[in-house]
């Protein structure tokens, strides 16, 4: 008789939340490519320090999704919100400042932060040990 143990993970609706965290992290990592774009197509301004922020927090978000760690998802989301807060304060001061970003950088990090926090705060059932009936 075939066991259904492997299909439980495939049918787990919470895996889609983990994939969403991986996707949000991937978006952050890929946004680092804008450091090479200048001129008309520079939708997002990334400086050297903001590249480090995007890569480190993006990789953390991907790891959180890969490991299904909701706490790490929330922590990474808070990190993105802190970076967005610093960016908007610097912009209010009149420059891109230390991070070298612009309002698009702020909005990207704000969206990634809110998204990761939302994904991380979804209640998940506790893992129960599997029991099998004796044949």
Under the banding of pLDDT at 50, 70 and 90, the label for residue 8 is very low
- Total-model pTM: 0.80
Indicate whether 22 pLDDT > 80: yes
Q: Residue 75's closest CA among 37, 113, 34?
A: 113
Per residue in 27-43, pLDDT (tens digit) is 999 998 888 888 887 78
Higher pLDDT, 6 or 66: 66
Per residue in 75-100, pLDDT (tens digit) is 999 999 999 999 999 888 887 678 87
Q: Residue 27's closest CA among 100, 111, 86?
A: 111
Indicate whether 45 pLDDT > 90: no
Q: Cα separations (Å) of 48 from 58, 108, 116?
A: 15, 16, 24
Indicate whether 54 pLDDT > 60: yes
């Amino acid at each position: 008789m075939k066991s259904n143990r492997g299909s439980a993970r495939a049918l787990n609706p919470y895996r889609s939340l983990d994939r969403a965290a991986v996707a949000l992290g991937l978006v952050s990592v890929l946004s680092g490519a804008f450091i090479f774009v200048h001129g008309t197509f520079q939708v997002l301004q990334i400086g050297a320090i903001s590249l480090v922020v995007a890569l480190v927090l993006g990789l953390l978000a991907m790891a959180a999704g890969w490991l299904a760690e909701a706490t790490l998802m929330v922590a990474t989301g808070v990190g993105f919100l802190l970076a967005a807060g610093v960016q908007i304060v610097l912009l209010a001061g009149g420059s891109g400042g230390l991070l070298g970003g612009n309002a698009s950088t702020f909005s990207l990090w704000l969206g990634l932060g809110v998204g990761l926090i939302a994904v991380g705060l979804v209640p998940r059932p506790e893992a129960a040990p599997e029991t099998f009936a004796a044949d």
